[in-house]
Amino acid sequence: MSLFFTGFLQVLFVCANTYMISKQKYMWVVVFGFLISFIWSWNVRKIAFGSILDRIRYSAGAATGGALGLYISVLILGEK
């Protein structure tokens, strides 16, 4: 997986999980918590030994994932 995509996914799930925690949605907290850790296990090695361009790609994916994670969380719970 590309660094942009793994950064995107990880932060998408972090954002969504934070939202679900605030709404006390236990099933989603467990699912997203697992996915966060699973994706993190790939990201650590890639970033630790990556170049500055790798870090920029990862960070851009993370920023995009955060915004979409919030949007999807609101859609799941039907709130505006």
pLDDT tens track for 19-64? 889 889 899 999 999 999 998 888 888 888 888 998 898 889 989 9
80 pLDDT higher than 70: no
How many whole angstroms separate alpha carbon 42 and alpha carbon 6? 8
Interaxial angle between packed helices 26-48 and 3-22, expressed in degrees from 0 to 180 and rounded to the nearest 10:
150
Residue 75 is classified by DSSP as H
Q: What is the pLDDT of residue 2?
A: 85
Counting other chains too, the contacts that 52-56 makes at CB distance below 8 Å and 24 or more residues apart are: 54/3
Closest by CA to 29, choosing from 6, 13, 7, is: 13
